[in-house]
Every structure is written in C-alpha cells, then in structure tokens.
C-alpha cells in the first residue's frame, strides 16, 4: 500500500473499537487430547490425500496421523464422517490487522497464522499477541514487522543515519518484533545496516522495493521476502513511458526477475488480490461503495468505513488492467519455476480487502492465474511454514499436517482441491490446539458485527 489515511481514520474509530471489544466470546479451553476421526487429510507436504485417517492432537501439537490408530481414552472426538477434510490452517503473510476483532474474523475464515506488516499499535504487538499466545484471546498466531522508512512520506518510523537504523533494530527487538519491513525511501546506507545487522538480532529484512537500492540489490543483500508482487514494477522492471504511466512491462523481462528470486530463494508475497482490488476501484468511486455494501463489510472496523471512501484510488484516471494481467503471468511464471510464494492481502488498508475474507480472494485469483488449487493452497500453508522456519529457525513448525507440527488445522466439509469455496465456511478451526467449531466461529463473527454496528 502507498496511501496514508489509516492513522487519521483510526482516531475516529477507536471509541467504537473499544466498545466492540467487550462483546467477544471467551476462547475455547484447550482440551488435553483431541482426536479427529474419519477424516481425509490434505497434509500439504506434497500433492496427496490420505483417506479415512485419525489425527491425534495434544498440547497444541499434532502427535500422530494414521488409519485406525488408537484414540486415547478421555480424548475429545471430532468425527469427520468420512467426508470431511483436515488441512493446515491458512496464513495471511501480509496484512495490517491489529485488533482482537480482526483476529477473531481471521480465525473464523480459517487463518491460523498472520503477519502484520507494519503500523500495528504497540498494545497489539506487545499485549494482544501475548494474550493470544496464552489462549486468553482467540486468534491466529501473529508475527509482526516494524516498518522503517527514510522519510515521513508514508507515515512510518524514519531513520536517516546508520546509528538511527541501529537504534530502530534495538527498539524492534525490545518490543518483540519478528521482522524489519524496509520501505521505499530508505537510504542505501541505512538499508545496508538493517540488512547486515538485522538478521543477527533475530530481525530478518522483509518489505518493499527500496528506490535507492532496487530489488536486485536488496535480494543480493539477503532480503528474506518481497512484500508485494507489484514491487517489481517500481524497482526492478523498466519504468513505463511518461505518456503511458499504467503500461505493463514487456513480458520478456519476466525471466530475469524469476531467475533472480529463484537463485536467492527469496520469498515473494503473491498478493494478486491487492493490486487487482486496487485496479477494480481505479477511477470508480461507486466500486468503493459496493465494497462497503458487501456482506463481509459487517466485519470491517468502523475506522475503515470512514477511510476507504477517502483513499485516492477512486479518483485516479486510466486503467491498471494491463498491469493486472501482467502480474498474473508473472505470478504463474514464479510458481512454475518453484520460487517460494506466500499469500498476502494488505487488508484492511486497501479498500475492498476485509480481514480474513481477502485471503480467500487471493487464493481464487491465484487459481484464475493458472495455479492448481494445491499450488494456491501451498502459498497459504506449507510455504508460510517454510518462510518462518528459514527466517526464525528453531521455532515450532507449522504449515503441514505432520506429527510434531503446531496443531493449526481447518476441518472442511468437502475437498478443497475440488472447490476452494469450502474453506470460506469451515466446519471448524483449530489454532495452536484450541478448537473452535462452526457455531463458535459464527458466534465470533456475530459478536464482531454487533460491536461494529453503528448506533442509530
């Protein structure tokens, strides 16, 4: 996102947010042992389905998977009836959600891992995340990046000298951040300090293209993740002519970008939904009103009801459609080459992208770009686990249904490989071993909507 309005808009919504917070349901207690029986497992480690399985979960971990394995006495049984599918919970690896309500909505949408990519409130990074980890607040496991820029243009924390960059690393570490998100206007020397010294402090570098460095230099310097596919437009591909600012690059430039990412093993957030949603409202204010009238807008914090119509995209001229088409081709080329791709959304900062719901929109767009449903799901499951394992080694594995992995699971009533839509209405979601069945998830959504309903 390259806009600004969020902070101003939040001020107007805080009172309503606080009111909504009271209504959230208490989280389900963690049962010592849970057994999923008669389930078909989509493990996501490779392309396969394991039929008629029993999956044992204890102490927040997947302990065993097999046909006809014994269910420990006293275990809670969740019966899939032979038709339900169990797969890893989903990961939205680029969003700006920082409220308990957003966490509840994400969880109800099957998200069990969330990466906040900047501008989260301190209370969220320090306190709310800890409450989720303890089980006091229902939600996905949350990682957080501190956004650092070289000027106040986009409203981020500013560092202008190497010493200030080092100070930002110290502050990020002290506050429990997991990543540094580099932003457009960083100086080359500040970027170099962050890229060289951040990883050793447990703060790998993720983020945008930095204009003074360029993605090629950033990836060579070890940037772990590019936060948007469209960053390649701004700091890698040749710039469009002034006479046609929305022209797409020549597709002949794609193989060099693919080779660069592939060689370095850099993760890229294939956020087709982000740019596609921006394009859909480009010069079309009526589209923003349609977003606010959609059913899922009930779960959008009031601050965004104020800010979405004030974002600048609806006032732009021309069309981004050629660039949207280009990104589809680019995403598919990256996937075919085996570049590790993640799913992300930028919700709720971009009008039209409601937390949780937006991730399903991204999966659909990946499929429309040519990805198999399995490949699309990989971006939101196994690849997210690989990304965290690589950037924060030694942590609890997740992203596949495998013994020893974190018990982050979706129970789907049908096979997602036939139709991903089944994941929009999970039969249940387990996050860190805590089970939320469909009625509990529906109650969470209803609580959020009731808390957000405008008085009068």
User: In the complex, which residues of this chain contact Zn ion (CB under 5 A)?
Assistant: 1, 117, 346
Q: How far is the CB of 345 from Zn ion (least distance, A)?
A: 9
Q: How far apart are CA 351 and CA 367, in angstroms?
A: 22
Of 351 and 433, which CB lies nearer to Zn ion in the complex structure? 351
Burial of 102 (0-12, 13-18, 19+ CB in 10 A): buried
CB 1 within 8 A of CB 350: yes
Residue closest to Zn ion when measured from CB atoms = 346
Of 119 and 447, which CB lies nearer to Zn ion in the complex structure? 119
ω into 308 cis (within 30 of 0): no
Of 92 and 346, which CB lies nearer to Zn ion in the complex structure? 346
User: φ, ψ for residue 321 (rounded to 5)?
Assistant: -60, -40
Q: Which two tokens stand for residue 101?
A: 């309500």
Of 1 and 148, which CB lies nearer to Zn ion in the complex structure? 1
378, 382, 388, 389 alpha-carbon torsion, rounded to 10°:
-140
Q: How far is the CB of 242 from Zn ion (least distance, A)?
A: 27
Q: How far is the CB of 349 from Zn ion (least distance, A)?
A: 6
Q: Which SS3 state, helix, strand or coil, does residue 253 take?
A: helix
Q: How far apart are CA 135 and CA 113, in angstroms?
A: 14
Of 6 and 262, which CB lies nearer to Zn ion in the complex structure? 6
Using CA atoms, how far residue 411 sits from 135, 256, 416, 425, 428, in Å, is 20, 40, 10, 10, 5
Q: How far is the CB of 119 from Zn ion (least distance, A)?
A: 9
Q: Which residues pair with 86 in a beta bridge?
A: 41, 411
CB 254 within 8 A of CB 333: yes
Of 346 and 386, which CB lies nearer to Zn ion in the complex structure? 346
Q: How far is the CB of 272 from Zn ion (least distance, A)?
A: 14
Of 230 and 447, which CB lies nearer to Zn ion in the complex structure? 230
Torsion over CA: 68, 70, 73, 75 (sign): negative
Using CA atoms, how far residue 456 sits from 308, 397, 444, 453, in Å, is 21, 47, 23, 9
Of 254 and 327, which CB lies nearer to Zn ion in the complex structure? 327
Q: Which two tokens stand for residue 345?
A: 């959304």
Q: How far is the CB of 147 from Zn ion (least distance, A)?
A: 8
Of 346 and 447, which CB lies nearer to Zn ion in the complex structure? 346
Burial of 152 (0-12, 13-18, 19+ CB in 10 A): exposed
Q: How far apart are CA 52 and CA 151, in angstroms?
A: 56
Of 117 and 165, which CB lies nearer to Zn ion in the complex structure? 117
Q: How far is the CB of 351 from Zn ion (least distance, A)?
A: 13
Q: How far is the CB of 144 from Zn ion (least distance, A)?
A: 12
Q: How far is the CB of 347 from Zn ion (least distance, A)?
A: 9
Q: How far is the CB of 208 from Zn ion (least distance, A)?
A: 9
Burial of 67 (0-12, 13-18, 19+ CB in 10 A): exposed
Of 54 and 362, which CB lies nearer to Zn ion in the complex structure? 362
Q: How far apart are CA 380 and CA 91, in angstroms?
A: 5
Using CA atoms, how far residue 32 sits from 135, 141, 400, 436, in Å, is 14, 19, 21, 15
Q: How far is the CB of 118 from Zn ion (least distance, A)?
A: 6
Residues with Cβ within 8 Å of residue 286, at least 6 apart in sequence: none
């Amino acid at each position: 996102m390259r806009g600004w309005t969020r902070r101003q808009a939040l001020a107007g919504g805080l009172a309503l947010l606080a009111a909504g917070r009271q209504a959230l349901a208490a989280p389900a207690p963690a049962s010592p042992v849970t057994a999923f029986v008669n389930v078909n497992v989509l493990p996501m480690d490779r392309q396969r389905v394991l039929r008629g399985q029993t999956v044992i979960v204890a102490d927040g971990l997947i302990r065993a998977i097999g046909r006809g394995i014994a269910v420990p006495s006293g275990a809670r049984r969740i019966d899939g009836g032979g038709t339900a599918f169990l797969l890893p919970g989903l990961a939205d690896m680029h969003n700006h959600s920082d409220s308990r309500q957003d966490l509840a909505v994400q969880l109800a949408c099957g998200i069990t891992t969330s990466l906040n990519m900047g501008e989260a409130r301190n209370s969220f990074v320090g306190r709310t995340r800890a409450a989720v980890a303890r089980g006091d607040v229902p939600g996905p496991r949350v990682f957080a990046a501190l956004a650092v820029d070289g000027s106040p243009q986009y409203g981020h924390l500013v560092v202008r000298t190497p010493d200030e960059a080092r100070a930002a690393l110290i502050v990020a570490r002290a506050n429990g951040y997991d990543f540094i998100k580099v932003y457009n206007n960083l100086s080359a020397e500040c970027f170099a300090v962050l890229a060289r010294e951040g990883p050793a402090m447990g703060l790998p570098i993720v983020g945008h293209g930095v204009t003074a460095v360029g993605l090629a230099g950033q990836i060579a310097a070890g940037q772990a993740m590019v936060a948007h596919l469209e960053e390649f437009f701004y700091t890698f591909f040749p710039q469009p002519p002034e006479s046609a600012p929305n022209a797409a690059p020549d597709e002949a430039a794609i193989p060099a970008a693919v080779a660069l990412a592939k060689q370095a093993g850099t993760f890229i957030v294939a956020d087709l939904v982000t740019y596609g949603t921006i394009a859909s409202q480009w010069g079309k204010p009526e589209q923003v009103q349609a977003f606010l009238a959609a059913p899922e807008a009930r779960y959008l914090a009031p601050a965004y009801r104020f800010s979405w119509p004030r974002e600048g995209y609806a006032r732009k001229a021309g069309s981004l459609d050629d660039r949207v088409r280009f990104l589809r081709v680019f995403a598919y080329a990256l996937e075919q080459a085996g570049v590790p791709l993640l799913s992300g959304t930028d919700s709720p900062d971009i009008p039209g992208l409601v937390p949780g719901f937006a991730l399903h929109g991204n999966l659909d767009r990946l499929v429309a770009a040519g990805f198999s449903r399995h490949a699309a799901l990989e971006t939101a499951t196994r690849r997210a686990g690989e990304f965290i394992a690589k950037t924060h080694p030694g942590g609890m594995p997740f992203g596949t249904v495998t013994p020893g992995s974190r018990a982050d699971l979706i129970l789907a009533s049908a096979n997602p490989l036939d139709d991903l839509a089944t994941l929009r209405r999970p039969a249940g979601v387990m996050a860190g071993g805590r089970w939320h069945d469909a009625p509990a998830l529906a109650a969470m959504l209803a609580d959020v909507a009731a808390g957000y309903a405008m008085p009068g």
